[in-house]
Amino acid sequence: MRISTWRPVEKSSSETNRRERFVYARLERTASGQVGATRNRPPLTTDDSDDAVGSRKRLRRALLIAGVVILSVLVPAMASAQGALEQYNPLSRDNLSVSLKMLSILTILTLAPSILLLTTAFPRIVIVLGFVRRALSTQEVPPNQVIVGLSLILTFFVMGPTFNSIKNEALVPYLNGMPDGEALEIGLSHLRDFMWRQTDPESVDVMISLSMEEVTDDTELTLDQVPIFTLIPAFMLSELKRAFEMGFMIYLPFVVIDLVVASTLISMGMLVLPPVLISLPFKVLIFVLVDGWELIVSQLVASF
């Protein structure tokens, strides 16, 4: 058997020259401190290194100046704040009263929508306008935003005298130094007067009977004898009752139009055609001809 011997492969002179040039270039970059640089990047010159050192010095100087300025501003502020905290006593009478006032203001702002719904003319107005839209069978026309906006404007219009009385007799004197309890009592008295004028005696009797309060049957109830938490639900019951009564009266003419259109379609044999498609234009036409919106708004305002 013939045993083959290993012989080194002779490299060509061109490959050897390329390797030597690569080694020499590597040594030159190592000597100039650019081992991690890319192959095509030129070595840094003396001017570039001087610029880098100068920029670092300027950066250190700017940071030092900024730190001195910040410390000169913060140290006196922290000292004054520490002194104020040492003098502040949250349990003192003045500070406690301010905290309670802020808490009461935030509570009133949170409950403002509920107060608007429970103690003003807003429920009756928005319910009646909702009945008008349902009676016209216009689905989402006018949209909810329009109905709520019109209801709010009419509410402020109706409640204008009451709000002016509260402003002149309670809010302005309170800002001028009137005690809190007196101002609150005056403001509530004006709201109680408005709610009492719009509340049915039957609703008041129902709420008083539910509250288990002892009232003599011989004498007629007065406003001072009815607590505020009994008057508010009685007022809401009366408002719902009146709103539904007005909604029923608004519905009647439109129901008549629907009945006439439906009977006409049945007599003509058009059983598949929905009566709403035919009655809707007639209802809108009649509503516009009689100035329906002006009539409803005027009657709503006059009902208060």
Per-residue pLDDT of the chain (304 residues; tens, 9 = 90+): 454 444 544 445 555 666 666 666 666 666 555 444 444 555 545 554 556 666 777 777 777 777 766 766 665 666 555 554 455 444 444 444 666 767 777 777 777 777 777 888 899 999 999 999 888 888 788 888 899 989 989 998 988 888 888 888 888 887 887 777 788 888 888 888 888 888 888 888 888 888 766 555 545 667 677 888 888 888 999 999 999 999 899 888 888 888 888 888 888 887 777 877 888 888 888 888 888 888 888 888 888 8
Domain membership of residue 130 (yes or no) is yes
Domain membership of residue 297 (yes or no) is no
Evaluate whether 204 touches 226 at the Cβ level (below 8 Å): yes
Residue 90's pLDDT is 47
Residue 115's pLDDT is 77
Evaluate whether 164 touches 204 at the Cβ level (below 8 Å): no
| Tokens read off for 112 | 């403002």
Domain membership of residue 228 (yes or no) is yes
Residue 34's pLDDT is 47
Residue 85's pLDDT is 46
Domain membership of residue 169 (yes or no) is yes
- Structural domain span for residue 162: 121-242
Domain membership of residue 224 (yes or no) is yes
Residue 31's pLDDT is 56
- State phi, psi for 16 to the nearest 5 degrees: -65, -40
Q: Pick from 187, 157, 189, 195: which is nearest to 171 by CA?
A: 187
Domain membership of residue 158 (yes or no) is yes
What is the rounded CA–CA span in Å between residue 34 and residue 41? 9
Domain membership of residue 281 (yes or no) is no
Measured at the CA of 229, the angle between CA 225 and CA 231, to 5 degrees, comes to 60
Residue 141's pLDDT is 81
Please state the domain count of the chain: 1
Distances (CA, A) of 173 to 50, 179, 184: 75, 9, 11
Domain membership of residue 233 (yes or no) is yes
